[in-house]
Amino acid sequence: MKIVDIKTFLMHAGAPSLKSWASDGSFGAQQFSKNLTGSRNWLFVKVVTDEGITGIGECSGWPRVIRTAVEDLKSLLVGEDPTHIERLWQKMQIAIMGHGMTGVVGAGAMTGIDMALWDIKGKALNTPVWNLLGGKLRDRIRIYGHANTPETALSLKQRGVTAIKCGGVSDPVRKVASLREAVGAEMDIAIDLHGPPWLTPADATQFCRALEPYRMMWVEDPIAPDNLDGYARIRNHSSVTLAAGERMATIFGERELIERDLIDVVQPDTGRAGGITQMKKIAAMAEAHHIMLAPHSGSLGPVAEYAALHLLASCPNGLVLERIEDDWEGRAKTVIPHPVSRDGYIDVPDAPGLGVEIDEDFVAQWPSEMNVSIPVTEGAGSYAQGTFREHVYVQTRWRRGVYFPKD
């Protein structure tokens, strides 16, 4: 079998409702929708072979940029046997190293192609990808939903969801307290502080200590992701469970977080960490350190979600899958079939390969418009004094008191 073509499908994905996202809503609904609409591009890759088998993959990272990277890599891969996945991964890695440390952009391009190669291999052998990864430890994958208010949390709880994550930087301790009070002890609660440049390790340590009584599933990215010594400081002064890793790529990017035991949960992004090939290795590195795996998928499309399902089925330390329940309605039309959660779990796919195809006609109806997450405009999104952006990016350190409970 030989690769004969690699195609890309870039689509603009609509925003989920404000209620179903773990934002703190500080933008206001209109600004929120605009930001998320701009930020969510889904890039799918289709690897075509001379035997009629095709594989599907997804790249995140920076989809509009990565589309070009995938098109560049195509010339390396046409004519190759798609079943030698590790060899092709190494070939791509070596081919792009002259561009420097390409981070999630280079790894994102490799991710979509790698994912498609696993899909092809599974289809060629008539077996699901999880079977190629060592077999299944579980038949269904637990999910966590996004909830930023007690109402949304209770709605998810009523549908059987057993874990939630809230986010944002506005009063996180009080927010978690209100969620815990609403949902009781049975639900797991995580909070994402989004790796902010505005929190110092000292600030974040105070958050983490204040959150200890709420039995957190985890506190995610409490400081900027490149501040690993800062993670060590937090670690030494709080017992709260820490999660990070969504902005890193490949085993080399995640290595230090794991080797230094800076976290309890590693969160490689299924669309940009380097593909199933890298994710499986990252999971194994984490397993050796008793660190759990919870793939990041906050803004990912539904093909990467399939890859995460296969991975979580096969990894002993697979913990939980991020999922925006009540996402944009077009999500379900983008792939066939669209996985539906039941009682807080998604069944592990049993079809050969990843078990999913994209609806190319539907994808074509949603051309990409833009791909930056936070347009800086006057008004609610500006840096002007007294506005949200000024508050979080510029002046926070001088007004730290607003972030902590007053008693």
Known catalytic residues?
Answer: 194, 296
The nearer residue to Mg ion, 43 or 244, going by C-beta atoms, is 244
Q: Count the Cβ atoms, other than its own, within 10 Å of residue 61.
A: 24
Q: Considering the complex, what minimum distance in angstroms separates the CB of residue 21 from Mg ion?
A: 12
For residue 191, what are the β-bridge partners?
166, 219
- The one-letter amino acid at 209: R
As a whole number of angstroms, the distance between CA 188 and CA 210 comes to 17
> What mask, x for binding Mg ion by CB under 5 A, covers residues 172 to 211?
--------------------x-------------------
> What mask, x for binding Mg ion by CB under 5 A, covers residues 365 to 384?
--------------------
The nearer residue to Mg ion, 133 or 190, going by C-beta atoms, is 190
Contact criterion met (CB below 8 Å) for 93 and 57:
no
Q: Which stretch binds Mg ion (CB under 5 A): 49-57, 60-68, 214-222, 358-366?
A: 214-222
Torsion region of 274: left, alpha or beta (phi above 0 gives left; psi -120 to 50 gives alpha)? left
The nearer residue to Mg ion, 192 or 305, going by C-beta atoms, is 192
Q: Considering the complex, what minimum distance in angstroms separates the CB of residue 179 from Mg ion?
A: 17
The nearer residue to Mg ion, 275 or 298, going by C-beta atoms, is 298
Of 216-235, binders to Mg ion (CB under 5 A) are: 220
As a whole number of angstroms, the distance between CA 269 and CA 141 comes to 17
Residue nearest to Mg ion (CB): 192
Q: Considering the complex, what minimum distance in angstroms separates the CB of residue 373 from Mg ion?
A: 12
The nearer residue to Mg ion, 220 or 305, going by C-beta atoms, is 220
Total binding residues toward Mg ion, as defined by CB under 5 A: 2
The nearer residue to Mg ion, 222 or 349, going by C-beta atoms, is 222
Which helix (H) or strand (E) is 72 found in, with range? helix 63-77
Cβ-Cβ contacts under 8 Å for 70 (sequence gap 6 or more): 6, 8, 43, 45, 59, 109, 112, 113
Q: How far are the Cα atoms of 282, 310, 402 from residue 286, in angstroms, in the given order?
A: 6, 17, 36
- 24 interacts with Mg ion by CB under 5 A: no
- The one-letter amino acid at 23: S
Q: Considering the complex, what minimum distance in angstroms separates the CB of residue 322 from Mg ion?
A: 8
As a whole number of angstroms, the distance between CA 387 and CA 27 comes to 10
Q: Considering the complex, what minimum distance in angstroms separates the CB of residue 194 from Mg ion?
A: 6
Q: Considering the complex, what minimum distance in angstroms separates the CB of residue 220 from Mg ion?
A: 5
Cβ-Cβ contacts under 8 Å for 10 (sequence gap 6 or more): 41, 42, 43, 44, 63, 64, 67, 367, 368
Tokens of 222: 């409490």
> Which of 204, 197, 203 has its CA nearest to residue 219?
204
- Residues that bind Mg ion in the complex, under the rule CB under 5 A: 192, 220
